[in-house]
């Protein structure tokens, strides 16, 4: 089954750590929405995209949009594509945008899952990140959202300077106590050319501590396992039956279509990405052209991508995707990680242990075919 992602490139404020494509100006919102609707129509023949089992409206901050805007986007998708009756339809929302009126409007529009960018329940952490919402809003608006949506995921960030293990546990415990069915937890990453990168280089903010991040990740796995969550992907935890269908399609190499500036698409053999410039995207779409670049994957590239994404999951890497020669090469590289306790075997699969998950990218790189 396939998924569609719609990128809404607008934010109320620039978080210091963010390197996603967005604008803090809504000046060209109407033109951008018109372009999105046109690309939805233009992309309906994208290979492998029908039927659609998940829709994800992300960004940016799509909760900035009017409910009528979201309804229009969804109506267009249902008109142009075959959307399954039980499709997972997610909207990303920030706490400061959540109101009772919007919640009822989103539900009426067909949204059945919310992804709420909490990041922390502590005011000092939110200020450090330059988030637009407050700790009071994080708790109050999340509690309000739970009155209208049972399928909710929240984002939490760990490994920030000033986040002690005690505060990290308080954040996780708060989510558990509220019965949040899905958590996406990320170590703070200092991306090049972000405001945070500049602030750290200018010694205006403390740098991250990798040892602290590793410790907090190990603690996170311990706490959530004890609370009954499945650690089904390195950054994602779910109560039984609450895995993200949309994100799972990425890790399982299912086709997905990205609509909007900077959005990515994949059809099993080719990967393409739209230009990360709002005005150019709008003008090119108006001319009848989708402004994207494309890469055709070789067989080795495809297998290496499967290796990388599969190792991030609870199920691990199925060795049956390789021929005998390829499998022998992968096994030879995997031996040191198996003997070191960083991987285990589960039937035909190689699965990372908790400590192995700390080195997931490096282990995957070791197993890549050349």
344 assigned to some structural domain = yes
Say whether both 228 and 328 belong to one domain. no
In whole angstroms, what is the distance from residue 174 CA to residue 351 CA? Answer: 30
Could you tell me if 262 and 269 are in contact, meaning their C-beta atoms sit under 8 angstroms apart? Answer: no
Lowest mean pLDDT, pick from 107-116, 150-159, 187-196 = 187-196
Segment 69-128, tens digit of pLDDT: 999 999 999 999 999 999 999 999 999 999 999 999 999 999 999 999 999 999 999 999
Q: Please give the structure tokens belonging to residue 136.
A: 């009071």
Which residues of the chain form beta strands (DSSP E)? 2-8, 52-59, 83-93, 113-119, 152-158, 182-187, 230-233, 236-238, 256-259, 264-266, 270-274, 292-296, 317-318, 343-346, 349-352
284 assigned to some structural domain = no
Segment 26-46, tens digit of pLDDT: 889 999 999 999 999 999 999
Q: Does 268 or 185 have the greater pLDDT score?
A: 185
Among candidates 146, 40, 151, which has minimal Cα distance to 103? 146
273 assigned to some structural domain = no
Torsion-angle region of 268 (φ positive above 0: left; ψ -120 to 50: alpha; else: beta): left
**Position 20 pLDDT exceeds 90:** no
Task: Say how many domains are in the chain.
Answer: 2
Say whether both 230 and 311 belong to one domain. no
Say whether both 245 and 362 belong to one domain. no
Say whether both 247 and 305 belong to one domain. no
Say whether both 216 and 122 belong to one domain. yes
Within 13 A of 312's CA, how many CA atoms are on the CB side?
A: 18
For residue 110, what are the domain limits?
2-251
Mean pLDDT for the chain overall: 95
Could you tell me if 156 and 172 are in contact, meaning their C-beta atoms sit under 8 angstroms apart? Answer: yes
Segment 346-367, tens digit of pLDDT: 999 999 999 999 999 999 999 9
* pLDDT tier, 310 (very low <50, low <70, confident <90, very high otherwise): very high
Percent of residues, the chain, with pLDDT higher than 70: 100
Hey, how many other C-beta atoms are within 10 angstroms of the C-beta on 118? Answer: 26
Say whether both 238 and 361 belong to one domain. no
Q: Please give the structure tokens belonging to residue 241.
A: 């039956």
CATH code for position 357: 1.10.10
Residue with token string 């998708």: 77
Average pLDDT over residues 271-275: 96
**Edge-to-edge strands of the sheet including 343-346?**
317-318, 349-352, 343-346
CATH code for position 95: 3.20.20.70
């Amino acid at each position: 089954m396939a998924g569609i992602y719609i990128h809404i490139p607008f934010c109320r404020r620039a978080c210091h750590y963010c390197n996603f494509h967005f604008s803090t100006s809504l000046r060209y919102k109407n033109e951008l929405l018109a372009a999105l609707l046109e690309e939805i129509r233009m992309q309906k023949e994208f290979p492998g995209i029908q039927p659609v089992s998940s829709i994800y409206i992300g960004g940016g901050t799509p909760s900035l949009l009017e409910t009528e805007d979201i309804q229009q986007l969804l109506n267009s998708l249902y008109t142009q594509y075959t959307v399954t009756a039980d499709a997972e339809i997610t909207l990303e929302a920030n706490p400061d945008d959540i109101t009772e009126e919007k919640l009822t409007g989103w539900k009426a529009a067909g949204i059945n899952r919310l992804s709420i960018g909490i990041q922390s329940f502590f005011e000092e952490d939110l200020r450090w990140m330059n988030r637009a919402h407050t700790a009071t809003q994080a708790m109050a608006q999340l509690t309000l959202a739970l009155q209208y949506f049972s399928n909710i995921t929240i984002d939490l960030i760990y490994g920030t300077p000033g986040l002690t293990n005690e505060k990290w546990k308080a954040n996780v415990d708060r989510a558990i106590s509220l019965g949040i069915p899905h958590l996406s937890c990320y170590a703070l990453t200092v991306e090049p050319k972000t405001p945070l990168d500049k602030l750290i280089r200018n010694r205006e903010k403390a740098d991250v501590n990798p040892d602290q991040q590793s410790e907090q990740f190990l603690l996170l796995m311990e706490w959530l396992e004890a609370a009954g969550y499945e650690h089904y992907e390195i950054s994602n935890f779910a109560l039984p039956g609450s895995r993200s269908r949309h994100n799972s399609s990425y890790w399982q190499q299912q086709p997905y279509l990205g609509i909007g500036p900077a959005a990515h698409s994949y059809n099993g053999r080719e990967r393409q990405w739209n230009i990360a410039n709002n005005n150019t995207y709008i003008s090119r779409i108006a001319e009848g052209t989708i402004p994207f670049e494309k890469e055709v994957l070789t067989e080795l590239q495809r297998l290496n991508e499967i290796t990388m994404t599969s190792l991030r999951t609870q199920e691990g890497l199925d060795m049956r995707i390789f021929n005998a020669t390829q499998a022998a090469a992968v096994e030879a590289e995997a031996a040191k990680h198996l003997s070191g306790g960083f991987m285990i075997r589960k039937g035909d699969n190689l699965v990372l242990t908790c400590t192995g998950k700390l080195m997931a990218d490096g282990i995957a790189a070791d197993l890549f075919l050349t």
